[in-house]
Structure 1
Amino acid sequence: MKKNKNDAKLLKKALELGMAFAKKQGFDDLDKSVSSKDKVECIYRLLVQFKQITPLPEDKEDGPNMKHRLILWITRLLPPDHELLQ
């Protein structure tokens, strides 16, 4: 996995848009006590369920790979000239 200097910000943006997508699908907001790791997994599984992203193989489903998949998803949604993609 190639690291980008803006990966943390891209992940944060992916989680924000993922939560907005979840709300549009009728899901409640995640509680503030939910850890970042669990938020990543919840958003990842939701996006897989709604066929927004390709699922990882079962043996590769871990935190770093899920984060990377979310970062790839958000980079495809952002316009090419977005500041986080520079």
Structure 2
Amino acid sequence: MKKLKNEKELIKKAIAEGVKYGEERGAVVFEPGDSADLKIEYIYRLLVHDKVIPPMPEEQVSQQSMRHRLAIWASHL
């Protein structure tokens, strides 16, 4: 998996947009103390469930791969 040029900024954007998406949909309410890793996993699984992004095979799902997939999603927003 090739790292994106500005992946850190895209991950921040993906978390912000994903939190907004999940809360507007009424699926989740994130607490201020929730970790970025927890948010990334929840946002990834929510977007896969809603068929916004394609799923990865379960054995390939890791924190790094979810971050990368969300960064790609954020780059298209």
TM-score where L is the length of structure 2: 0.90
1:13 aligns with 2:6: no
Aligned mates of 2:7, 2:47 — CA distance in 1: 19
RMSD over aligned CA atoms reads 1.2
Identity %: 40
Aligned mates of 2:5, 2:35 — CA distance in 1: 23
Q: Which amino acid aligns with 2:33?
A: S
Task: Give 1:28 deviation, angstroms.
Answer: 3.8
Task: Give 1:57 deviation, angstroms.
Answer: 0.3
Task: Give 1:13 deviation, angstroms.
Answer: 0.2
1:38 aligns with 2:38: yes
- Higher RCO, 1 vs 2 (CA within 8 Å, ≥6 residues apart): 2
Q: Which amino acid aligns with 1:57?
A: P
**Alignment coverage as a number of residue pairs:** 77
**Over residues 30-75 of structure 1, what are the superposed CA-to-partner deviations in whole Å (9 max), with x where a residue is unaligned?**
1122111111000001101111000110100110000011011111
Aligned mates of 1:29, 1:21 — CA distance in 2: 11
Aligned mates of 1:21, 1:13 — CA distance in 2: 12
The answer to whether the 8 A contact 2:3-2:68 is kept is no
Aligned position for 1:83: none
Specify every segment of 5 or more residues in structure 2 that has no aligned partner in the other structure, as ranges. none
Note the 1:1-86 alignment, pairs <5 A. 1-77=1-77
Q: Deviation above 2 Å: which 4+ runs of structure 1?
A: none
Structure ID, larger Rg:
1
